[in-house]
Amino acid sequence: MMPSPLAILALVVALMLLFSVWKGGKRRTLRNIPALQRLQRSIELSVEDGSRLQVNLGHGGILSTHSAAALAGLTLLQQVAEVAADSDLPPVATSGEGTLMLLAQDTLRSTYRRIGIADQFNLHLAQTTGTTPFAYAAGTLPSVLDRTALSTAMLGEFGPEAGLIADAAHRSEGFSIGGSPSLSTQAVLFAAAHEPLLGEELYAAGAYTKASKMHEASLRTQDVLRWVLILLLLFTAISPLLGGSE
């Protein structure tokens, strides 16, 4: 019998709430994702040497099927802004769609307000650089190539054009990290980016940049559900061999 989607959703909510209040002693460590650990170091280095960090949110809007990826990118943007907003070169966000640009502006504005530097915020910190995938990539390239942004994070809906941005980061001797829900883009990023984020790693960025306890809880929920899925798949594969199915 298939569980209903509402039951799955209720289970996810329950697990997330449980993990967000559960202390769990000293063993509460996150699993090792080298790409995200390097991203954390890259954010710290950007603050120290005063270089700019650019968060690219992709060309999918909030109405697309992969909007969650862009929302993960916005979480990263908020974290980056919190630590680097008052530096000489504050972080910038690029997007290839209007709704994402507005959300990025709102995210930056509220972060600037929260840390008490609202007067330093300007709308051009979040830009729409193009409205088709390649136009978006072409509009994003100059700031990477002229070394204005030495660290480039791509978290959102990207197509193969992400390879152009990652390659530009490599040529300007910068750092690039990238994740996308599209499998072909993940393959492109595996080859082109310094640190590719594969599968669900894209959604774990918030937990590693210490966004909130709920991000950590949702990462643990993902891990639990992943094991449940693995066990279910194994059970489904083995049960016919044991004669438990027709």
For residue 55, how many other CB atoms are within 10 A of its CB?
28
If binding is defined by CB under 8 A, does position 97 make contact with another protein?
A: yes
If binding is defined by CB under 8 A, does position 216 make contact with another protein?
A: no
Residues 181-200 that bind another protein (CB under 8 A): 181, 183, 186, 188, 190-192, 198-200
Residues 47-76 that bind another protein (CB under 8 A): 61-63, 66, 68-69, 71-72, 74-75
Contact mark string toward another protein, 162..181, x via CB under 8 A: -xx-xx--x----------x
Contact mark string toward another protein, 122..141, x via CB under 8 A: -xx--xxxxxx-xx-xxx--
Q: Nearest Cα to 204, choosing from 221, 192, 190?
A: 221
If binding is defined by CB under 8 A, does position 83 make contact with another protein?
A: no
Q: Least separation, in Å, of the C-beta of 23 and another protein? A: 18
Q: Is 10 helix (H, G, I), strand (E, B) or coil?
A: helix
Burial of 139 (0-12, 13-18, 19+ CB in 10 A): middle
Q: Least separation, in Å, of the C-beta of 232 and another protein? A: 11
Query: Which alpha helices (H) appear in the chain, and where do they start and end?
Result: 5-21, 34-49, 67-84, 98-114, 133-145, 162-171, 183-192, 205-208, 213-238
